[in-house]
Amino acid sequence: MLSLTNKRILLGITGGIAAYKCAELTRLLIKAGAEVRVAMTKAATEFITPLTMQALSGQRVHLDLLDIDAEAAMGHIELARWADLVLIAPATADFIARISHGQANDILSTMVLATSAKIAVAPAMNQAMWADDSTTTNLNTLVDRGYHIFGPAEGEQACGDVGPGRMLEPAQLLELSSSLFETGLLAGKNIVITGGPTREAIDPVRFISNHSSGKMAYALAAEAVAAGAKVTLISGPVNLATPDSVHRIDVVNAAQMLDATLEHMSNCDVFIGVAAVADYRPAEVEAQKIKKSDEQMQLTLIKNPDIISEVAKLDRKPFVVGFAAETNDIVSNGKDKLTRKNLDMLFANNATETFNSDSISVTALTKTSESELSAGNKNVVARNMLQLIATALGAS
């Protein structure tokens, strides 16, 4: 079974008797490493209590679309962006009909309509309802949109009938959910990623740095592992946990990051330069703390090495992917950087919207193409980025 480490799963519970199985399902998802949040329809609360799901998930359960406290920050939209997978279990015939027609009249259906994450539906209903032509039509509509249908199973039903319509068991839903992230797109590839800021010392207590959180690099590292790659993450100072199965190397300044990068280029297939490397560093680093005395102080700065350019100049050059965090003329500046540094691909984004945020929107650039990746959780967008990289590798 593939681990769900770092995966964010929004569990949507609708009003069927199988809702009681969601307690065990939540426990299994969390045990597999997922972070689980729960949204319930009003009917679902008649079968299992929100308090039970809150205790098991460790998170507030979302019940109302028009919740004043949550919606002050557009809570349902943020949760839709947060998810890597929306798993609807059980999915009643009524709920399947509503989402197949694009309705958004409760919190769960609204999240389904608003998310760019994977969506999986675990049907649960009477066997006659399952066999009805309307249900078949509605499910075919969802399949055409890319939804995943988990089940149903056959057997004895709560009403006494026997036949198809039972929700799959929690262990089966766990396995199917895990399989959605086992892409194999980058199986066997060695990927080196730089992430986070660098700190350039002024004296023993002061440094020059920037606002980079490292979240994009860490999301790419986690998703690359899920895609089958062997990943080395060279990280500046950040407060993030190392993704599962990622080899992390901690550095502080640009010179250290360059050295660590070049040491890992001999068998590197893809280099992704996400780090916000300081462009300049002090020409001299004072041995003792500089005392505050004069009204003004001047620092002489010198250029730092350009890590991604150094990689792009190697005789054995990997597939080189850069990032351009800009504050203006985002696409044109990104195209200039792509050409000037001889990169194979570049993702351009608005720096002021990205630093310390969990979501991002980017423009993917190559020498011959330009495409928009819509705003979403950084893990979701990272997966789309890796899809583009894998496609480019296959074509090269």
Long-range contacts of 134-139 (CB under 8 A, 24+ apart): 134/97, 135/93, 135/96, 135/97, 137/100, 138/96, 138/97, 138/100, 138/101, 139/96, 139/100
| Contact in structure between 167 and 134 (CB atoms under 8 Å) | no
Measured CA angle at 126 (ends 125, 129), to 5 deg: 90
Q: Which of 51, 55, 159, 241 is catalytic?
A: 159
| Integer Cα distance of 361 and 106 in angstroms | 27
| Integer Cα distance of 202 and 253 in angstroms | 12
| Integer Cα distance of 257 and 247 in angstroms | 15
| Integer Cα distance of 137 and 47 in angstroms | 27
| Contact in structure between 207 and 287 (CB atoms under 8 Å) | no
Measured CA angle at 361 (ends 360, 363), to 5 deg: 140
| Contact in structure between 263 and 247 (CB atoms under 8 Å) | no
The two three-digit tokens of residue 60, written as one number: 């507030």
With residue 249 as reference, give the H or E element that holds it.
strand 247-250
| Integer Cα distance of 92 and 110 in angstroms | 16
| Contact in structure between 13 and 39 (CB atoms under 8 Å) | yes
- N- to C-terminal Cα separation, the chain: 32
Which residue in 15, 12, 4, 81 sits closest to 53, CA to CA? 12
159 catalytic per annotation: yes
Residue in the block written with tokens 């003004």: 296
Specify the amino acid at residue 192: V
Which residue in 368, 343, 359 sits closest to 84, CA to CA? 359
> Which residues are catalytic, by number?
159
